Every structure is written in structure tokens, then in C-alpha cells.
Structure 1
Amino acid sequence: MNSISSIMGEQKLLPIIQVNNADDGVDIAKAMYEANLRTVEVVLRSEKSAEAITAIKAALPEMIVSAGTIIDEASLKIAKDAGADFIVTPAVTERLLTALTACGLPVLPGVSTVADIVLAREHGFREMKLFPASLSGGAAFLKAVGGLFKDTRFCPTGGVSESNYQDYLSMSNIFAVGGTWVAKPEWVEAKNWQAITDACLDVK
């Protein structure tokens, strides 16, 4: 199974798309594509999120579209049926990890404690999402666990912003950061797609 870091390649930002309709999802994804981003995460937080995944895959066949906010077997099925390329979760449980390891797709499991990291490792995962990063110790936490888990790498999400993402990316055990700041709700509401492209281009 491909690692998430190998899927993302040189891309260091996993931009998060939150939408209430599929059309906005496609336009956001296109704006990100214009900024040379090829991997995005669509969070399953509305009834239209799964439709957005399918629509983005149809409109931009080269784009890798992950499904986020996978919290149980039901949402995992929705993500797979929508055509998601990989799965992102906000947390882990024994039952959820068992389903994830059997789902046939690459997975980025969400952790927030040392115990979570150990649990995910027991299921074979070596790349994880720290969520919510800012409330789970942030960069200081990731620095501390770096010595404990030398073969484990993270993608912090939640509280990551244009003002602090470089602090995370400077660390050796961080392969990417996830964030919503590159697709602010007011830009989406105003259909200011260029602002999204520009924000994505600013991430170096």
C-alpha cells in the first residue's frame, strides 16, 4: 500500500475542502489545481461532500482526492463509494483501525495522544495526522514524540495556519500540513476562486 507521503510527493500542503454543494467543490479544486496542487482532502461534513468527491474526480482526473472525517464503517463506505483515493480520519479506535486496514485504500489515521500513536502503529501505520494539532500540543508535542517514534511521520491539521505552518514543516518528522486557510468560507461564498489559487501559491 502506498504511503500518503509518496502519494503527495513534493506537495507539503494537504488543502482541506469543506463544501455544501458539489459545484463549489469542483471550483475550489480547480483553483487549487491552478496552484499546482494535485492532492486535496474533502471532509465529509455535509450531505453533498461525497458528491463533491465524485464530481472533482470527474472534472479533474489527475487530481488525487482524499476523504476526511471518516469516523466509522458507514462513513468509510460512503467515501469508497464516492471514489476517494485515500482515507483520512480525525481519530482512531480499535474497531475503526481494523476496518481501515481492510478497506483496500491508503489511510492517514488521526491521533492526538501517545496512546493513539501506539495503537495506530500496532495496526501497521507509520504516517498519521495529528488532530486537532493546536489543542494536542502542536509542534512541541511532535518534537517530543519524535524521539519516541523515530520511524513515524505526521501531517498536523487543526489550528495550522499561514502564520505557523512553516514551524511544523521545519521538523524532520513532518511530511506535510493540512489546513483550511487556503479556502476561506468568505472566498467560497463570493466565488473568489483566484484568492484560493493565490493562497495556495503562497505556501512554500
Structure 2
Amino acid sequence: MAQDSEKLLSILKLQPVVPVLIVEDVASAVPLARALVEGGLKAIEITMRTPAALDAIRAVANEVEGAHVGAGTILNAKDFEAAVKAGSTFIVSPGVNKSVLEAAKGSKVPLLPGAATASEVMHLRDKGYKVLKFFPAEQAGGAPYLKALSSPLADVVFCPTGSVSLKNAKDYLALPNVVCVGGSWVAPKELIAAGDWAGITKLAAEAAALRG
């Protein structure tokens, strides 16, 4: 089964910036997600990098109205299935392997797979994937690299993630092959630790106002 691009795009097009979150404490997940949604960022990626990640996804999925929670840093089928079971509405991987692609085949939850080179993009395109994560964005060539791909691979669109910030987000969003960007700057660790949800809502509102 090819990627459900329509379902994935309906989520990614909700906003110009998808927050990429590392949640250390599940108790912060719900107020953090509510702050982001209040600021206009409804699609939220919680990365599977901490022991709290699955519980955080489950809590946001169950308790935060208006949120579309996804799971990031999915590296294998086991994590894919666990994230779906926890309530993820989309799955994000930094690259691709057979395990993740096989899990995606049998799932109703769409996969946003990562690619960093033209060859990787072509490989995924051949498998029916036309909405990709460009990662690590800045390190892999940044906006100029994606612009160069827009002509030969015109039917593929990207969500660049990796050292994307308020400063350079507009460079990506101005490109015809970029649907949104992923970024962690909207939820800094220090604001999460301080419980400064109003501060995060303000950053989210600034990000939501970005346009290409």
C-alpha cells in the first residue's frame, strides 16, 4: 500500500510549523500540548527518545482537544505499532528501513519518512511516498538543496526538520516543494521545565503566523 498522502497532508497543512518535542516528564505533556494548540499549532510530534514518550502521546491523544499528535524518531516496526496503539495520528521516521516500511504497509496511520539525498527521495517515490521529511535539513544542504530538488522531483513535497529555526523557517516555507517545517524552538526545554505555558503559546503563535 502506498502512502496515504491525502491524510498526511491534511495534518501537515494545518500550520506552517510542526513542533518536534522531547517530553521527559509525562506530567508536562498535556499542558504543553494545550499551550501549543492555543497558539495555533495543532499538529504535534512527540519523539520516541524518552521513556515517557508513549505515555505522553497517549495523554495528549486522550486529553487535548484539537491536537493531532504524531510520534517521531520511529526506527522499527515495534515502535511504529506501539505509537499507533498509543493514539498517534501520524508517524515520523528520520530515515527508512525495511522494518518501518513493512509496518507502514499494514497501517491506517500515515508515515512521514525521512530522506536526505536525491537517491533516497527516488527510492521512496518508487514505493509510493511523495510526502517526505527532509532530515537533517540544514546539515544536508538546507533550503538551496531542496530548491534544487524541486524541478527534477516536482511531485514530491517535504517537511524539513533539523536545525530549522524562526530565523530560517521562511527560507524553507517560500519553496514550492515545502508543505511545512518541523522545529523544536517553539517549546524550549527551559520553558517546559519552568511550566511557562504562556511563553510557549506566544512562541507557537509566532510560528503559526509564518508564511512562505
Give the TM-score, by structure 2 length.
Answer: 0.92
Q: Which 5+ residue runs of structure 2 have no aligned equivalent? A: none
Post-superposition shift, 1:89? Answer: 0.6
* Residue of 11, 21, 26 corresponding to 1:22: 26
CA contact (8 A) 2:77 2:102 kept: no
Match of 2:112 in 1: 108
Q: What is the letter of the counterpart of residue 154 of structure 2?
A: K
CA deviations on 1:82-141 (whole Å, 9 max, x unpaired) are: 110111110012443232222221111111111111111121110000011011111111
Residue 98 of structure 1 pairs with residue 102 of structure 2: yes
1:53 to 52, 57, 64: 57
Aligned equivalents of 1:56, 1:99: Cα separation in 2? 23
Taking the TM superposition and a 5 Å limit, the aligned residue runs for 1:48-197 are 48-197=52-201
Q: Is the partner of 1:67 in helix, strand or coil?
A: strand
Letter in 2 for 1:132: P
Checking the alignment, whether the CA contact within 8 Å between 2:32 and 2:197 is kept in structure 1 is: yes
Tell me the TM-score normalised to structure 1 length.
0.95
What's the Cα RMSD here? 1.2
Name structure 1 gaps, 5 residues minimum.
none
Contact (CA 8 Å) 2:37, 2:66: kept in 1 or not?
no
Query: Runs (4+) of structure 1 moved beyond 3 Å?
Result: none
Q: Which has the higher contact order (CA 8 A, sep 6+)?
A: 2
Q: Deviations over 1:46-92 (max 9, x none)?
A: 11100000001111143111110001111112211211011111001
Paired positions, count: 204
